[in-house]
Amino acid sequence: MGKGISTQGVTLKWGSNPGSLTKKIDIKDFPDLGGAPELIETTTLSDAVQTFIFGIQSLSAMEFTANYTKADYQVVLADEGKELYYALEFGTSGSEGVFKWQGQHSVYVVGAGVNEVTEMKIVVAPSTKPELSTT
């Protein structure tokens, strides 16, 4: 049985095609890579309880947090609004799996208070489902 893996070394990459994915910045966290599917009710008058089948899987905006620097912000901003390919790699060079999807992103600086690190959010609007890569 597996003992689990650490989040240390998780890397977000993106590029204009599947062969050009590169790490642009370091991230501090990553979102869920999917969501619960909608439930479609199939209950009939003969059923004693409600019955369901799975419908379309929920997938919302994917938010990644990073430390803000002017240079990193400009790197992320340069690709804002473009249809891109993304990958989230787990382990050393993806040794624990790589999830890939397509979408576009935006970036903004988040609010902060006294004695806090200034951060930014990269929000990816996915156009395909993140899937574990077999290559």
Domains of the chain: 11-33+59-132 (2.30.110)
Is the pLDDT at 37 greater than 80? The verdict is yes
pLDDT of amino acid 2: 73
Is the pLDDT at 102 greater than 90? The verdict is yes
pLDDT of amino acid 4: 87
**How high is the mean pLDDT of the chain?**
95
* Two structure tokens written together for 11: 């890397």
pLDDT of amino acid 3: 84
* Whole-angstrom distance, CA of residue 121 vs CA of residue 34: 19
Is the pLDDT at 94 greater than 90? The verdict is no
Percent of the chain predicted with pLDDT > 90: 87
CA-wise closest residue to 131 among 84, 97, 105: 97
pLDDT of amino acid 10: 95
Q: What is the pLDDT of residues 44-82, one digit of tens each?
A: 999 999 999 999 998 899 999 999 999 999 999 999 999
User: Which residues, other chains included, contact 115 with Cβ-Cβ below 8 Å and sequence gap of 6+?
Assistant: none
pTM of the model: 0.89
The pairing of strands 11-15 and 22-23 is: antiparallel
Q: What mean pLDDT is predicted for residues 21-30?
A: 97
* Two structure tokens written together for 91: 């382990």
Residue 119 neighbours by CB distance under 10 Å: 15
pLDDT of amino acid 100: 97
